[in-house]
Structure 1
Amino acid sequence: MESKDYLKDLSEIKDLMNKSSRFISLSGLSGILAGTYAITGAAIAYWLVSTSNRDYLILDGYIFRLCVLILVLVALLSIITGIYLTTKKAKKNGTKIWDATSKRLIVNFLIPLIVGGLYILIILDQQKYGQAGALMLIFYGLALVNASKYSIGDIRYLGYIQLILGLITAMFPGYGFWFWVIGFGLMHIIYGTWMHFKYDVN
């Protein structure tokens, strides 16, 4: 009987330590909405390109600038939605949204993402944009894997998928748009749905 109590106590201590070292208030619904935003933005960009005089993008064209604007809006909407839903979940669970763990999570997520974003901007400025889609997926995957140490460990699996998709995209750059849709759109929806029913639904 005492051994069972000790095991129970150890399990509770382990759970408390895990919660104190990991940010666990990420919302699965935010992943679903981020994927929806990505697919919607991609559909609009595809329509813009397909109805223009060209079947491809050029860096100095207004269609390209519109597509970049759509990409920025998708990112902003995803960030705003993620912050709102995560804050809401944290309040519901009675946990802090901004503490040492969440700071470490954000720093470890942003380092690969910012470096990757700057590198992509550099190669775009040099008109070497054939691998831009692959690099977006790869650096985003690295950011997820890097941040998973301070959050729900399951996000590393999404990171691995993004890395694999990025490498495949590098081999088939002509299909970069579609792999981008799969990675940032479909995979976010699938992952968000899984996380929602695993962690959010009581």
Structure 2
Amino acid sequence: MSWELFNVLGISAFAISGAIIATEEKYDLFGAYVLGLVTAFGGGVIRNALIGLPTDALWKQELMIYVALIAITLVLFCPSPWFQYWKKWLNFFDAIGLAAFSIQGALYATDKGLPLVAVIFAAVMTGIGGGLIRDVLAGRKPLVLQKEIYALWSVIIGVVVGLHWVSGNVQLLVLCGLIVALRMVSTIYGWHLPGRIVHRKMS
């Protein structure tokens, strides 16, 4: 139940963010659907390859593919004023996708009995994979490679879930909401990780 819940949240949010960016980059309809689908499912495919799950499991998620297609269609065919409103919430949809998919990836890894480092890695790659592919295909600098705090939230989720500090749908939903809130606060206030730590003095 937890997997499906966060699967729907993550797929919907990332499909919407992919469609919004595709529209901003003036993709045609086909390109927009491709970018939206890649954003929605890219992280899951990467996770499956890394933790030993079959990568063709994607094609067994027929319902989830329809969910993504509906989400993309809502963005592409909504009236222009609505699209401008959705566009303002791009970071919010991205934050939902990041949190939901990170939790889902961590749950998959813990269910397989993998060690903590693998749980963290699964959380990170599931959470950032789709967005990373989306940004690369759209010709944008990936968020995860910038100073902006992004993948760190996935790491935190991996630690919390991997150490079994939360259990059950309610606690996982609270964790998801907390990470979404922290991600939005970090975006609003410009929190960022340091770049180069040691700087050579200019002669």
Asked which structure has the greater CA Rg, the reply is: 1
TM-score bin (small chain): 0.3 to 0.5
- TM-score, normalised on structure 1? 0.37
Structure with bigger helix share is: 1
